[in-house]
Amino acid sequence: MFLAACHVGAAEFFVAPDGDDEAAGTRAAPFASIQRAQRAVAPGDTVVIRGGIYRMRPARIAREERIFAYVTLLDRSGEPGRPIRYRAAPGETPVFDFTDVRPPGRRVHAFRVTGSWLHLEGFEVIGVQVTITGHTQSIGFDNQGSHNVYERLSVHDGMAIGFWIGTGSHNLVLNCDAYRNHDDFSGDRRGGNTDGFGFHGPRGSVGNVFRGCRAWFNSDDGFDFINAGEAAVAEDCWAFYNGFSPRFAPLADGNGFKAGGHAGTPVARLPNPIPRHVVRGSLAVRNKANGFYANHHIGGVDFIHNSAARNRANYNLLGREGDNRTLIPGRGHRLLNNLGFAGGTEVTQLDAAACEVRGNTWQLTEFPVAGDFLSLEEAELTRPRRADGGLPEVSFLRLRPGSRLVDRGVETGHPFRGAAPDPGASESIPAARD
Ligand code: CA
Ligand code: CA
């Protein structure tokens, strides 16, 4: 009854590639742009985005201020229980192509979201450009609001960071993909800022979660939480081939999960307390540098039930002293039930005596071998998502029944199968039906 009451009066508007912003915004006479649709909506309304290619035009940039060009600016909010939805028409794929949007001297933010209680679902962003040769970055989805959901979106084949939570609380990035993004224009052209997903919120930006997301072939990192003032969570996420071009030419940093760090931040400007990020149930495969990386973090990170394979170092816990910038083996980490296979190094820069370290494969007398896994076919990782947007079903890096690694983990409070938890992400990777 409550749900039904909430939908009374909710309106539906339509956007289509052959629409017209002077039209009524109905199914028969759709708008041409999300920007126009936003002027029509109220909390609880839905904007249905029809499939096809939307060629974004430089003349239609919503706002240019200082060094930024916000191409689509969503600054109108929904309300608790009455979000404004911008979603693809069922079974259709809208693709927003930003290739022609090249504002001189400005950073391109394809979608700038300052509103709250918004739900964006089911469309793609391609071709976002960088036009500045000095230190810069462009962004696919730039979140500055709260209680927003980004679902089943992708940012690919551009020069921008995919998804960026700059500030705001209780945002969820769900089942999104960021891939083949490389800024080959600015700086040294290695794309040192182009991450798949980033959380960099200041103090007060709490409760932000990345779930079911994939990042691959981004020129910098897959997931990056550097300089964050609060903790973020990455769970059931996959990061692979980051720091490489699609032909495996080495590019920039190349970490799967850069789970924190305060780089050169002076002691007086460090957040207090230092945030404790959580990375769990996640997969890092063949990233150029580290699979799971503490990145000079001060204090600990929770790394629980992750699987890493073929990274230069599968797990690198490098830390930093809290009262100066001296780099030290990491302290305060919780490393539970993590699996490493075929890394250049399995685990490094870990002060094990100052951490909780249990149930990880590097603590076993024998490391995992190929025969412990159902499949080592990395191509499975880019399979299409399931109908509900969830990660594809794979056999890759799942433990083979009867492997001596089965049930060798420790109980952490998370659900598991069999007599005990398995090390790695096996128990949270969707199983292939083969
Ligand atoms: Ca980065
Ligand atoms: Ca088990």
Q: Is residue 268 in some structural domain?
A: yes
Q: Is residue 17 in some structural domain?
A: no
Judged against a pLDDT cut of 90, whether residue 173 lies above it is answered with yes
Tell me what pLDDT residue 7 has.
Answer: 47
Q: Is 32 left (phi over 0), alpha (psi -120 to 50) or beta?
A: alpha
The rounded Å distance from CA 167 to ligand 1 centre is: 17
CATH number of residue 104's parent domain: 2.160.20.10
Domain count, the chain: 1
The rounded Å distance from CA 382 to ligand 1 centre is: 22
Mean pLDDT value across residues 123-150: 97
Q: Is residue 13 in some structural domain?
A: no
Judged against a pLDDT cut of 90, whether residue 2 lies above it is answered with no
Task: Give the number of whichever ligand sits closest to the CA of residue 137.
Answer: 1
Q: Is residue 423 in some structural domain?
A: no
The rounded Å distance from CA 426 to ligand 2 centre is: 9
Q: Retrieve residue 93's tokens.
A: 């794929």
Give the residue numbers spanning the domain of 330.
64-382
Query: Do 382 and 400 meet the contact criterion of CB atoms below 8 Å apart?
Result: no
Judged against a pLDDT cut of 60, whether residue 261 lies above it is answered with yes
Cα(412)–Cα(431) distance, integer angstroms: 22
Tell me what pLDDT residue 433 has.
Answer: 56
The rounded Å distance from CA 415 to ligand 2 centre is: 9
Q: Is residue 194 in some structural domain?
A: yes
Judged against a pLDDT cut of 70, whether residue 305 lies above it is answered with yes
Q: Is residue 55 in some structural domain?
A: no
The rounded Å distance from CA 63 to ligand 1 centre is: 26
Task: Give the number of whichever ligand sits closest to the CA of residue 422.
Answer: 2
The rounded Å distance from CA 253 to ligand 1 centre is: 7
Mean pLDDT value across residues 41-63: 97
**Banded pLDDT at 1 (limits 50, 70, 90):** very low
The rounded Å distance from CA 339 to ligand 2 centre is: 13
Q: Retrieve residue 333's tokens.
A: 């980490």
Q: Is 397 left (phi over 0), alpha (psi -120 to 50) or beta?
A: left
Contacts of 428 (CB under 8 A, 6+ apart): 236, 281, 305
Q: Is residue 140 in some structural domain?
A: yes
Q: Is residue 415 in some structural domain?
A: no
Least confident among 21-30, 135-144, 240-249, 323-332? 323-332
Strand 149-151, strand 172-174: pairing: parallel
Is this structure's pTM higher than 0.75?
yes
Q: Average pLDDT of the chain?
A: 95
Q: How much of the chain exceeds pLDDT 90, in percent? A: 92
Q: How far is CA 2 from the centre of its chain?
A: 33
Cis peptide upstream of residue 273 (ω within 30 degrees of 0) = yes
The rounded Å distance from CA 408 to ligand 2 centre is: 8
Strand order in the sheet with 313-316: 63-65, 68-74, 107-113, 139-143, 161-165, 197-199, 223-224, 257-258, 290-293, 313-316, 345-348
Q: Retrieve residue 370's tokens.
A: 């190929």
Judged against a pLDDT cut of 80, whether residue 198 lies above it is answered with yes
Tell me what pLDDT residue 94 has.
Answer: 98
Judged against a pLDDT cut of 50, whether residue 421 lies above it is answered with yes
347-396: pLDDT as tens digits: 999 999 999 999 999 999 888 999 999 999 999 999 999 999 999 999 99
List, as ranges, residues with CB under 5 A of the ion ligand 2: 407, 416-418, 422
Task: Give the number of whichever ligand sits closest to the CA of residue 337.
Answer: 2
Element (H, E) at 2: helix 2-7
Q: Retrieve residue 9's tokens.
A: 């009066």
Judged against a pLDDT cut of 60, whether residue 97 lies above it is answered with yes
The rounded Å distance from CA 366 to ligand 2 centre is: 19
The rounded Å distance from CA 284 to ligand 2 centre is: 21
Strands (E), 75-117: 84-88, 94-97, 107-113
Mean pLDDT value across residues 263-271: 89
187-196: pLDDT as tens digits: 999 999 999 9
The rounded Å distance from CA 371 to ligand 2 centre is: 17
